[in-house]
Amino acid sequence: MKKNIGASLALYPSPLVVVGAMVAGKPSWTLVAHTGTVAHSHIMVSLVQAHYINKGIRETKKLSVNVVDPSWLKEADRMGVLSGSKTDKSEAFAWTLGEHGAPLIDAAKVSIECEVDGNYELEAFDQFICKVLAVYAEEQVLNEKGKINYHSFKPVLFEFPTYEYFVTGDKVGSCGRMN
């Protein structure tokens, strides 16, 4: 028998990312654990409205989603404890400007450049609905078909109730082929 544990978030762990955006002409970064796919062409990035970076996202309508892996987890984690309104985060990472104007973290093996299509405001959060404009991936994490190989690329996952980080694990099946 299942126990009702209340109206709590139970869709964890989720991918850990660092969102980047230009704010006042400089890149800013923030650690984000609330992202998700909303269509084959769009993702959602959820940020507390008070975040400094939100201003840049609203003004430029561009952002990057840089997928964290263990090789730069320590630096990424730091972006979750520093406030952009109190600390200049522009030099926290070596970065490159993407083809569409969003700053991309050079250390990220996978970065997604997006344009904001809309914002659904909910309980002091901005839910930015973002069209994927480009995905940049290092050759070392691609398979022979040019797709991201999650057997070799191990994104960090964040688990909210315990504030712990994990990496993706072993394959347990093949979708649609488990008869």
Across the chain, mean pLDDT equals: 96
Name the pTM for this structure: 0.96
Encode 32-59 in three state secondary structure.
ECCEEECCCCEEEEEEECCCCHHHHHHH
Contact criterion met (CB below 8 Å) for 138 and 148? no
For residue 85, the tally of other CB atoms under 10 A from its CB is 12
Contact criterion met (CB below 8 Å) for 150 and 15? no
Residue 48 CA, chain-centre distance (Å), reads 14
**pLDDT level of residue 9 (50, 70, 90 thresholds):** confident
Q: What is the pLDDT of residue 146?
A: 97
Tens of pLDDT along 67-122?
Answer: 999 999 999 999 999 999 899 999 999 999 999 999 999 999 999 999 999 999 99
98-102, 121-125, 157-161, 168-172: segment of lowest average pLDDT: 168-172
Structural domains for the chain: 14-167 (2.30.110.10)
Closest CA to 105 of 167, 19, 25: 19
Partners of residue 62 on adjacent β-strands? 115
For residue 169, pLDDT beyond 90: no
